[in-house]
Amino acid sequence: MIDPKLLRTDPDLLRRAQAARGESVELVDELVSADEARRSAIASFETQRAEQKDLGKQVAQAKGEEKAALLARTKELAAGVKAAEAASNEAGAKFDELIKQLPNPVFDDVPRGGEDDFVVVETIGTPRDFAAEGFTPRDHLELGEMLGAIDMERGAKVSGSRFYFLTGIGAQLEFALLNLAMAKAMSWGFTPVIPPALVKPSAMEGTGFLGQAAQDVYHLPADDLYLVGTSEVALAAFHSDEILDAASLPLQYVGYSPCYRREAGSYGKDTKGIFRVHWFDKAEMFVYCDPADAEAQHQKLLGYEKEFIQALEIPFQVLEVASGDLGLSAARKYDCYGWLPTQDKYREITSTSNCTEFQARRLNIRMRDGDGVRSVATLNGTLCAMTRTIIMLFENHQQADGSVYVPAALRPYLGGLDYLRPLG
């Protein structure tokens, strides 16, 4: 959640941020009123409670008629204190309910607009000209079947639509990508983590995934647990309710976990193959840092993503996401879109978000330095989403005979293979 002081010192900043997101500006006005009502109710309760305590001391020293009068006043005041406490709790609950609905304020220089209003920051690499090479590229599913790497039919038989098996070289390729990702992440100073894929509601709410993204979340009602859509959730909640030593920051983790998404709003989209599925595995980077360092850390995460994609020799673009397309927690987000030859366009393969202090406030994660105790900042970034990365490798590195070139960076993790060959 946001710092409540912003409501009192700069509500116009929050109004601008809401307008930039295309969200309700009136919510800020409601929050300002709710904050005033909450503080007024707390002050009333505390005043009456102080008077009640003072009367208690006077009663202990009084005698006779004076004592009787004081006791009568104490009885009257007790009812008032009880009512004031109830009003304070009610005002606090209303404020808490409203402030949880307020997204993280976007930075003023984030591009304005919706899903299609992103800004292309840079283009790296050049897509192959398959026509000049004399053949039409096959899509990833046809290649995956030729290589014995992807089995959609049995995935649907076992689990339903948008499920799959990675088999043979497909499974080996995921392990190779994981090993490459972890080797790079550790060289950058990240601590590897295998986090739980089931989390409590507090973790989901704390990271902002029970807001706009709630429709895509799988919930297990019998256990009141959620299947994560990204290991960001567990990694963010890892230090919940803790005070971190400022000298230990930044803390850098790279988590590997399955990710589960309903894809509720994607009916009819990307139904072929493994581009948009209900489950995939992902290596995710996560950083806790001093808020003053958050923007620099964000650029580092983007740099790591770019380095990994370049190591796989995939042409891609870096996009800055527009304000209206940001999730609840992000103040700024960059996406990397890899070139997909059979669709003749770039498609998303990684993203990295600066969540400033938003998640840390919701999860009660703070730091202690010479100036006292205050909130940290959190950032996240995809290192390798396995299915989409496999798609990019297959389609961009395919050969006319259906074989697939293996980038040099991956070969040590595939027993030195330089090409994946079709089966028999």
User: Are 116 and 80 spatial neighbours (Cβ–Cβ below 8 Å)?
Assistant: no
Among candidate residues 88, 174, 388, 395, the one labeled active-site is 388
Among candidate residues 261, 332, 362, 366, the one labeled active-site is 261
Residue 401 tokens, joined = 């005979």
Q: Is 395 a catalytic residue?
A: no
CA–CA separation, 283 and 228 (whole Å): 13
Query: CA angle 95-98-104, nearest 5°?
Result: 115
CA–CA separation, 209 and 257 (whole Å): 17
Q: Is 356 helix (H, G, I), strand (E, B) or coil?
A: coil
CA–CA separation, 29 and 12 (whole Å): 10
Among candidate residues 15, 39, 276, 374, the one labeled active-site is 276
* CA 49, 54, 57, 62 torsion-angle sign: negative
In this structure, which amino acid lies at residue 382?
A: T
CA–CA separation, 257 and 108 (whole Å): 34
User: Are 223 and 214 spatial neighbours (Cβ–Cβ below 8 Å)?
Assistant: no
Among candidate residues 351, 353, 366, 395, the one labeled active-site is 351
Burial of 252 (0-12, 13-18, 19+ CB in 10 A): buried
CA–CA separation, 53 and 46 (whole Å): 10
* CA 140, 192, 203, 302 torsion-angle sign: negative
Q: Is 276 a catalytic residue?
A: yes
The maximal CA–CA distance of the chain, rounded, in angstroms, is 109
Q: Is 112 a catalytic residue?
A: no
In sequence order, the 6+-apart residues with CB closer than 8 A to the CB of 366 are: 242, 243, 244, 360, 373, 374, 375, 376
In this structure, which amino acid lies at residue 15?
A: R
Among candidate residues 112, 348, 374, 411, the one labeled active-site is 348
Q: Is 261 a catalytic residue?
A: yes
What's the per-residue H, E or C state across 238-273? CCCCEEEEHHHCCEEEEEEEEEECCCCCCCCCCCCC
Write the DSSP symbol of residue 403: -
CA–CA separation, 384 and 282 (whole Å): 6
Active-site residues, by number, are 261, 276, 348, 351, 388
